[in-house]
Amino acid sequence: MKKVLSTPIKDEDIAAIRVGDVVYLDGYLVTCRDVGHRRLIELGRELPVDLAGLAIFHAGPIVAKDGDGWKMISIGPTTSMRMERFEEEFIERTGVKLIVGKGGMGPRTAAACRKHKALHAVFPGGCAVLAATEVEEIERVEWQDLGMPEALWVSRVKAFGPLIISIDTEGNNLFETNKAVFNAKKGPIIDRICQQVRFIK
């Protein structure tokens, strides 16, 4: 059975979810990436969307005008690590409960997820049409002055996923664990290859 989270997400909804679990989302998902984070944290501007209990998506979509509204054409995750500098404070200030993106995030985000009970999850990168078909409606858009990729697109989603949990509310960090494994493996492999590429004699 699919594990589905619904917004507003409460602490108890996500307490038992662990890294490597696969979940889906019903409810509100708001895009927020580089400049959105910078405006709140560094420039001190108030976010035009109340994110308490909601989910954000590190993503810059392709949208098309659809009558008076907008239609989601293609929306996939962007590299979450770019937001690492801001995310700890972002979680604290907004009360966001689920951060969806691509690749891992660092120790400061993991600490904030533990302290404020939030999750980071990966939507498979490059799967942007799949994600767009899981968006029911774009309800509104804020900060359109930032252009299509950076604006805050407020979407209502249904069974949005797969979302692979990469940081849980205990602060476990799947990518940090994986990276340690990759780094441990790579040394001996490099040594072996180096023996075979001594072309300068």
Partner 1 sequence: MDKHEAKRSLTDIMARFTSYAGKRLPTDVLGRLAALRQGEESKLSRVVFDSMFENLAAADNLDRPCCQDTGVIQYFVKAGAGFPLLGELREVLTEAVRRATREAPLRHNAVETFVEKNTGDNTGLRVPWIDWEIVPGDAVEIEVYMAGGGCSLPGAAKVLMPSAGYEGVVQFVFDVVTSYGVNACPPLLVGVGVSTSVETAARLSKLALFRPIGSRNPDPRAAEMEKLLEDGLNEVGIGPQGLSGNCSVMGVHIENSARHPSTIGVGVSTGCWAHRRGSIRIAPDCASYEILSHKEAVL
Token pair recorded at residue 14 = 């996500």
From 3-11, 112-120, 129-137, 152-160, give the range in contact with partner 1 by CB under 8 A: 129-137
Binding mask 109-128 for partner 1 (x = CB under 8 A): -------------x-xxxxx
Identified catalytic residue from 37, 58, 116, 120: 37
Q: How far is the CB of 5 from partner 1 (least distance, A)?
A: 17
Choose which of 95, 103, 111, 156 interacts with partner 1 (CB under 8 A): 103
Tokens linked to 78: 């962007």
What is the CB-side half-sphere exposure of residue 61 using CA atoms within 13 A? 29
By CB under 8 A, the count of residues binding partner 1 is 54
**Binder of partner 1 out of 59, 98, 112, 118 (CB under 8 A):** 59
Task: Give the list of residues 6+ apart from residue 173 with CB closer than 8 angstroms, or none.
Answer: 19, 104, 105, 107, 110, 166, 167
DSSP-based three-state secondary structure for 141: strand
**121 class by beta-carbon count within 10 Å (0-12 exposed, 13-18 middle, 19+ buried):** buried
Q: What is the rounded CA–CA span in Å between residue 26 and residue 160?
A: 7
164 near partner 1, judged by CB under 8 A: yes
Q: Is 20 in the site for partner 1 (CB under 8 A)?
A: yes
User: Residue 154's closest CA among 165, 140, 170, 166?
Assistant: 140
Burial class (CB in 10 A: 0-12, 13-18, 19+), 89: middle
Name the residue among 18, 1, 99 with its Cα closest to residue 51.
99
Out of 1, 2, 44, 200, point to the residue binding partner 1 (CB under 8 A).
200
Q: Does 179 bind partner 1 (CB under 8 A)?
A: yes
Say whether 37 is catalytic. yes
Per CB under 8 A, 159 contacts partner 1 = no
3-class secondary-structure state, position 41: helix
Stretch that binds partner 1, among 5-13, 86-94, 108-116, 191-199 (CB under 8 A): 191-199
Nearer to partner 1 by Cβ, of 49 and 128: the residue is: 128
* Catalytic residue ranges: 37
Contact footprint for partner 1 (CB under 8 A): 20, 22, 59-62, 64, 73-76, 78-81, 102-104, 122, 124-130, 132-133, 146-150, 162, 164, 174-175, 178-179, 181-183, 185-186, 189-190, 192-194, 196-200
